[in-house]
Structure 1
Amino acid sequence: MFLLNNIHDKNYKKCYPTESDVIFDISEKQLASAKNAAWNELKEGSIVCVVTSTRRVSTFCKVTAIKSVEEIDSDGGEMFALFGVVIAKLMPESNMGLLLSKFSVKHQYLPSNKFSVGFHVADLGTELDTLKVKTRSGAKTISELKG
C-alpha cells in the first residue's frame, strides 16, 4: 500500500480537464530524487491513499493506469499521472501521524510520521494490511483489498 503526498492540494481535475480519474501526478524532476524511488513500484492494481492538506487518511484507490501526460512541469520536464478509482473509505478518517503511530509504521522519509521535504511516494508494504476500511460490500482490511 502506498501513501501519496498532495499536501498542497493540487486540483487534478483542473490540471487535467480532458483526463478522467487522475488521482496524483509527479514530475520528472521529482522522480529524479531517490526519495521518490517507490514510484517505480506502483503498478496497475496497487492500493494508494492520497494525503491532502488535512493530513488525514480517508480515501483508498486502486490504480488503473500510470502514464506520461501532455502537461510539462515548470522545469520543462515530463509529467506522469496516476489514474485510479475509489474502492474504500476509512470511517472515520484519521490523522495520518496518529494512524501511522498506531500501526507502528517506520519509514525513513516519514520522520515523526510526516512527509519530509520533497517526498511524494511512500511504499508502506504490509504495514497497514490489518487496517479496516469501508467498501461497497462491507468492511474489509487493506490486505483483502490487495487480494
Structure 2
Amino acid sequence: MRAVSVRQPWAWLAANGHIELLNFDWTTSYRGEFLIRAGLKLVKRDYRALATQLRDQLDIEVPDCDDEAQLPRGGIVGMALLTGTYVEHPSPLFRGPIGWTLSHAQPLPFTPFNPPHSGPDLHWFDVPRAAVGLSAIAAERMHS
C-alpha cells in the first residue's frame, strides 16, 4: 500500500481527521488511499510555535510534543484518501507550494516502520498491508 512520511503534528492532525489538507513541495497524480507515516524528525521549538498557532487561530489542541504515547514518530499512524492536489487553496492551513486534500482519515494503531530509503527526496513508498495489520475489509470502510 502506498505511504508517505509527514512530520508531527501534521501526521497526528491528518490521521485523526482534524485537518483535510497537507502541504508538500511536490505534486502527485495519485488519488486514493494511502498510509500516513509520522516522520522521525521533530523540532520542538517549531512544534510549539505551530501548536500555539493551531490553538489560537483554529481552536485545535495538539498533544504535547514530549507525549510519545499520543505523538509517536517513525511509523504508521493512520490512513486517508488523497482526493486532490492544488497550487492555491482557501484553507487557512494552505502554505504551499502544493496542498493535498484528504478525506476519510482514520487513525491506526502505531506500527513502527522505516522505509528502505529515506532522506529529503523521499516521496511515495510501499508498505505491505500485513505490516500494519490492515485487512482489505478495513480499507473498504474508507470508501463507504
Normalised by the length of structure 1, the TM-score is: 0.49
User: Which structure has greater strand proportion?
Assistant: 1
Does 1 or 2 have the higher relative contact order (CA < 8 Å, sep 6+)?
2
